[in-house]
Amino acid sequence: MFLQNSWYVGAWADELAAGALLGRTILGEPVLFYRSAQGAIAALEDRCCHRGLPLHHGQVLGEHVQCGYHGLVYDRSGACIKVPGQERVPRGAKVKSYPVVEQDRIVWIWMGAPELADPAAIVRHPWHDDPEWAWTKDRYLVNANYQLINDNLMDLTHVGYVHTKTIGGTPEAHSNAETKTDRSGTGVKVSRWMLNSIPPPAYTQAVKFGKERVDRWMEIEFFPASVVRIHTGATDAGTGAYEGRREGGFGFMGLNAMTPETEHSTHYFWSGAHNFMVGKPEATQRLRKSLEVTFGEDKVVVESQYATLRANPDAPQISIASDAGMVAARKLIAELIERERKAA
């Protein structure tokens, strides 16, 4: 079951050049994204109302999209406005349309009731356009339910065990990190501090610290339905990071957007921004390679975990202290879905 009345990441903006078509399944529904000749983005049900061919097999005609089978033309609202070979358009010739917003280099889509779509509720991510930061991004298809990816991001104690080659560091430092979980009506925030810890390989390869040990932080923000923003960084130990002085050192801002494809598969959109060596593409490329390894490790874990859970869904599971953020995020999603169900 999915939260319908929520903004989801549907695509990266640069996936859609002028005149481009993109078919993508979201929340179990086939969706066509297209960018008109004038640059506007629209999203329609990816199905011609005549014989059912997905519209992504067609083409963009100015501001409209034409089916690639028999040439029916649709406008941005999903209404069929032309049928080749006849003057009259049949009554009811239309497909569903979805509200979309292009913001922060992202195409956001609203899958629920159109009248409830409020662009002001979209999670802002200004780091994509901040000249003080450089960034890279991608999308993976993960064969697992989206909430397992949320769980993985909300509990970062796994980092010391799963990501030893990149961002791991000392496992004990992650398990013993000073952790605080805060829940609001609109999200969950987990703050983690690893003071006087050994920096991981990815950090020391990116910047030169003045000391052998660092004060390291991880601030994890969850926004329903499924966006997790993670601000991580480190500065020389004892130089005031804990008190708010975070100048210099290593800074990373990660955006993670989990858009369900189906109950069993997820579009995982991610970006990583850094505040060191900005303007040097080789630094961004090194970060990208590190992130590809890191997220690849997460993908193996989550897909294997989901396969086990599907094979034996009634197997008991225990909870431990580090699950607090994950539990709060799941509880918030469940509450919103229940509220939506009652309203319907």
| Co-location of 104 and 134 in the same domain | no
331-343 mean pLDDT = 95
The predicted pLDDT at position 315 comes to: 94
The predicted pLDDT at position 174 comes to: 65
194-220 mean pLDDT = 90
Q: CATH no. for residue 227?
A: 3.90.380.10
The predicted pLDDT at position 206 comes to: 84
The predicted pLDDT at position 169 comes to: 59
Q: CATH no. for residue 106?
A: 2.102.10.10
Confirm whether 2 is domain-assigned: no
Confirm whether 160 is domain-assigned: yes
| H/E run at residue 206 | helix 201-206
The predicted pLDDT at position 170 comes to: 66
**Cα–Cα distance, 188 to 185 (Å, whole number):** 8
Answer whether residue 95 shows pLDDT above 90: yes
Nearest Cα neighbor of 266 from 167, 162, 139 is: 139
The predicted pLDDT at position 233 comes to: 92
Confidence of residue 273 (pLDDT cuts 50, 70, 90): very high
Among 138-147, 175-184, 205-214, the range scoring the smallest mean pLDDT is 175-184
User: Does residue 113 have a cis peptide bond before it, meaning omega lies within 30 degrees of 0?
Assistant: no
Over pLDDT 90: what percentage of the chain? 82
Confirm whether 1 is domain-assigned: no
201-230 mean pLDDT = 92
| Co-location of 337 and 196 in the same domain | yes
Confidence of residue 186 (pLDDT cuts 50, 70, 90): confident
Confidence of residue 160 (pLDDT cuts 50, 70, 90): confident
**In the listed set 96, 121, 146, which residue is the last one of a domain according to the structure?**
121
Mind listing the pLDDT tens digit for each residue in 113-153? Answer: 999 999 999 999 999 999 999 999 999 999 999 999 999 99
Over pLDDT 70: what percentage of the chain? 97
The predicted pLDDT at position 147 comes to: 97
Average model confidence (pLDDT) for the chain?
Answer: 93
| Co-location of 113 and 140 in the same domain | no
Answer whether residue 163 shows pLDDT above 80: no
> What number of other Cβ atoms are within 10 A of residue 200's Cβ?
24
| Co-location of 163 and 140 in the same domain | yes
Quick one: tokens of 16?
Answer: 């859609």
Q: What is the layout of strands, in order, in the sheet containing 41-45? A: 21-26, 29-35, 41-45, 97-98
**Position 272: which residue type?**
G
**Cα–Cα distance, 293 to 228 (Å, whole number):** 19
The predicted pLDDT at position 173 comes to: 62
Q: Is the dihedral of CA 45, 51, 57, 60 positive or negative?
A: negative
| Co-location of 115 and 133 in the same domain | no
Nearest Cα neighbor of 24 from 123, 93, 135, 98 is: 98
Nearest Cα neighbor of 43 from 120, 336, 27, 89 is: 27
Q: Tokens 């083409």 belong to which residue? A: 59
**In the listed set 72, 93, 121, which residue is the last one of a domain according to the structure?**
121
Answer whether residue 168 shows pLDDT above 70: no
Mind listing the pLDDT tens digit for each residue in 13-44? Answer: 999 999 999 999 999 999 999 999 999 999 99
Confirm whether 105 is domain-assigned: yes
| Co-location of 157 and 298 in the same domain | yes
DSSP string, 131-180: TT-EEEEEEEEESS-HHHHHHHHH-GGGHHHH-TTTT---HHHHHT-EEE
| Co-location of 12 and 39 in the same domain | yes
Nearest Cα neighbor of 177 from 167, 191, 198 is: 191
Number of domains in the chain: 2
**In the listed set 121, 148, 168, which residue is the last one of a domain according to the structure?**
121
Confidence of residue 203 (pLDDT cuts 50, 70, 90): confident
Top pLDDT among 47 and 176 is at: 47
Residue-number span of the structural domain to which 168 is assigned: 126-343
| Co-location of 315 and 262 in the same domain | yes
240-266 mean pLDDT = 94
> What number of other Cβ atoms are within 10 A of residue 227's Cβ?
24
